[in-house]
Chain A
Amino acid sequence: MIGGPPKGLRARLPILYPAAMLVVFFVIPFGIMLAVSFFKREPGGFYTTDFSIGNYANLFTVLFGRVLVFSILISAFCAALCVAVGFPFTYFITRMRRKAQVVWLVVLVSVLSLSAVIVAFAWSIMLSQTAGVSNLLVWLGLMEKAVSWSPGFWALTCGMCYIAFPYTVLVLYPPMSRLDPHLPEAAQTLGASPVTTFFTVVVGSLRSSIVATLIMVFAFTLGTYLIPQILGRPQHWTLSVLITDEAIYRSNLPFASAMAVFFMVVSLALVGLTMLAGKAKEPSPR
């Protein structure tokens, strides 16, 4: 049985279940969205069944282009930041005793139980003038007077990285804990400094995991719509915020669907390009 292709219905049953779930919870909803994106918007009403590309034609505006570019850039930036901090962080965790590792991972996973609303509100208070950390800095004599850091670009970055960070570590942890400890040891025996070892051996041998994590965090942060509303100024609203506005506040579902479909195509294309680039640089199999 092992190694051979499954034979008969019984052997295929285990795969049928996830396949059915994928169809019910992903393919069908996406199909509906795709269909709605071609429907005709009734101004001031709802929509009528139709086949029109008008919704896609309406995408070609300066506003849409600017917001699309900003959404992609901030997600890419957050992905880079999360991996830059998360990579050494995960490396240190894997170097700890087993018990300590478990504690760290449990703490990180528990962060995931917080909803985006709570995270965003907490950050907006922490970065506020009246109750925020700047008051602490004033008390320590590091600052002249308390200032407000939210809403703004860096507040938004903090919020987005905060919710993406646990995922970063959880994705990096398995390949990193499997990394053979003899590799860095060998490098150091041969005279490399710990820093050189880290960048050449550890980073080098985990390059494909890093690319995978970047893509994962990028795709994950693209979808956030609550955090930019609370921690960002209007110029920092991402495409997800505009899609929400169209769908929820203006009941313009066809246009919202068109935006969502286009957004997905662009981000998939970017992910594809990144993977191609990652593959090209990948050393030939050992």
Chain B
Amino acid sequence: MNTRSRLFWSILILGVAALVSQPALAAEKTLKVGVYGGYFKDSFDKHIFPDFTKETGIKVESVAEPTGEAWLVQLEQASKAGVAPADVNMIAQVAMLKGQKTSLWMPLDLAKIPNHKNLLPVFVHKYPDGKVDGIGAVSWYITLVSNTKVFPAAPASWGDMWSADKKDKLGLLALASNSFLLEVTATTFFGGTQVLDTKEGVQKVLDKLAAVKPNVKLWYRDEAQFEQALKSGEIPMGQYYHDVATLASKEHPVRSTFPKEGGILDSGSWAVTKACKKAEEAHVFIDYMCRPDIQKKLSLKVGTSPTVKKELTGLTDADFAAVSSDIKPIIPRYDIYTGDMSDWINQKWTEMITK
């Protein structure tokens, strides 16, 4: 045998060996978990996934989800082809409802998630027929943030954003369905979000919101863009995520305030698409995430608000206050962004801010 054919045979044998050993590799349990890219993914990779693997033997491969509904669009398209880009996904509430309409989500079996009993009832997400399609993953607040050097006194109300001395000083999220500013304006000036039930009500709220425009310097889609400007004082006030702002406040002149009308309480759910082939492992993971000690760890390490009842977590009052507040939160009206009015609201919103 000359060298060349020997090489050929060795490669062939190696190849066959690799193929034969495939099932052995597959026997190792793995799970792909989709988490919002950036801060959340980094935190989960560091604090949550390694311990989960240690305890259950299931190896987690984390997938960075893009913001917005891009991930939902990808899941929809992939699901039609019978593919699941990730087995368990962290999904925002508006996207949860949109996925429901196309029956994208696999119904979850609560019997396999005994820890669901710990959850606050709002965190068990259901199809209209009562089947469970999502379990609360994390919840977080969007609050009023400000630069302490530019504004030595903390603002007290969302209404402060409208005052004349804030001209060209605010950074706000650019879309109706991620800023929830309609809900904020409705709660601050119209006594609650029920005014958003009708088109006339939405129009009134939009008109009020239009008055804040001269004060807005930046309508942002990308968090990093505002965070940088907030830290430097370039854009010294606005709405932002309480968890990241609190983290930033340790090194920068930044503060996060729960206004007297309440912070915006938003959340993400764990959801599994029908194309997922690892339902068993997915249930194990979701159950693990509902454990009070894990939610406590998330609050302490990541700064999210717990999805389980406060008394179960064993968080001290001070720790709880750092991630949440006893002021009644503003709960977004997810229904209006998925209902019949949704396209109309989005168009009016874009017209309002681009005018």
A binding-site residues for B, Cβ under 8 Å: 41-46, 61-63, 66-67, 121, 124-125, 128-131, 148, 151, 229-230, 233-235, 237, 242, 245, 247-253
Contacts of A253 in B (CB 8 A): 73
Contact A235 B343 (CB under 8 A): no
Closest to A242 in B: B350
Contacts of A62 in B (CB 8 A): 351
User: What distance in Å separates the Cβ of B325 from its nearest Cβ neighbour in chain A?
Assistant: 28
Of A124, A233, A234, the contact of B225 (CB 8 Å cutoff) = A124
Q: Provided the pairs A121-B225, A129-B234 are in contact, do residues A234 and B354 lie with their beta carbons within 8 angstroms?
A: yes
Contact A44 B338 (CB under 8 A): yes
Closest to B221 in A: A229
B85 interface residue (CB < 8 Å to A): no
B130 interface residue (CB < 8 Å to A): no
Q: Provided the pairs A63-B351, A251-B72 are in contact, do residues A41 and B98 lie with their beta carbons within 8 angstroms?
A: no
Contacts of B72 in A (CB 8 A): 251
| Among all A-B residue pairs, the 10 with the closest Cβ atoms | A45-B101, A44-B338, A249-B68, A130-B232, A234-B354, A234-B353, A251-B69, A248-B70, A248-B68, A130-B234
Of B73, B338, B350, the contact of A248 (CB 8 Å cutoff) = B73
Of A46, A66, A229, A248, the contact of B76 (CB 8 Å cutoff) = A46
Counting residue pairs across A and B whose Cβ atoms lie within 8 Å, the total is 88
Of B73, B339, B351, the contact of A251 (CB 8 Å cutoff) = B73
Contact with A along B165-195 (1 / 0, CB 8 A): 0000000001101100000000000000000
Contacts of B70 in A (CB 8 A): 248
Contacts of B69 in A (CB 8 A): 248-251
Contacts of B311 in A (CB 8 A): none
User: What distance in Å separates the Cβ of A150 from its nearest Cβ neighbour in chain B?
Assistant: 9
Contact with A along B311-355 (1 / 0, CB 8 A): 000000000000000000000000001111011001100110111
Closest to B229 in A: A128
Interface residues of B in 226-244 (CB under 8 A from A): 228-229, 232-234
Q: Provided the pairs A63-B347, A248-B68 are in contact, do residues A151 and B217 lie with their beta carbons within 8 angstroms?
A: yes
User: What distance in Å separates the Cβ of B224 from its nearest Cβ neighbour in chain A?
Assistant: 8
Contact A44 B337 (CB under 8 A): yes
Of A41, A128, A249, A252, the contact of B178 (CB 8 Å cutoff) = A249
In whole angstroms, how far apart are the Cα atoms of A66 and B102 in the complex? 34
Contacts of B40 in A (CB 8 A): none
Contacts of B338 in A (CB 8 A): 43-45
Contact with A along B88-127 (1 / 0, CB 8 A): 0000000001100110000000000000000000000000
Q: 11 more A-B contacts (CB under 8 A) besides A46-B102, A63-B350, A251-B76? A: A42-B102, A43-B340, A44-B97, A44-B337, A61-B347, A130-B234, A229-B222, A235-B355, A247-B73, A250-B177, A251-B69
Contacts of A44 in B (CB 8 A): 97-98, 101, 337-340, 342
13 contacts between A and B (CB under 8 A): A43-B338, A45-B98, A46-B76, A46-B101, A62-B351, A63-B354, A66-B354, A128-B232, A131-B232, A230-B225, A234-B353, A248-B73, A250-B346
B218 interface residue (CB < 8 Å to A): yes
B219 interface residue (CB < 8 Å to A): yes
Closest to B232 in A: A130
In whole angstroms, how far apart are the Cα atoms of A250 and B347 in the complex? 11
Contact A249 B232 (CB under 8 A): no
User: What distance in Å separates the Cβ of B247 from its nearest Cβ neighbour in chain A?
Assistant: 20
Contact B175 A249 (CB under 8 A): yes
Closest to A125 in B: B228
Contact A245 B350 (CB under 8 A): yes
User: What distance in Å separates the Cβ of A33 from its nearest Cβ neighbour in chain B?
Assistant: 13
In whole angstroms, how far apart are the Cα atoms of A251 and B233 in the complex? 34
Contacts of B228 in A (CB 8 A): 121, 125
In whole angstroms, how far apart are the Cα atoms of A237 and B225 in the complex? 16
User: What distance in Å separates the Cβ of B196 from its nearest Cβ neighbour in chain A?
Assistant: 15
Contacts of A124 in B (CB 8 A): 225
In whole angstroms, how far apart are the Cα atoms of A47 and B123 in the complex? 28
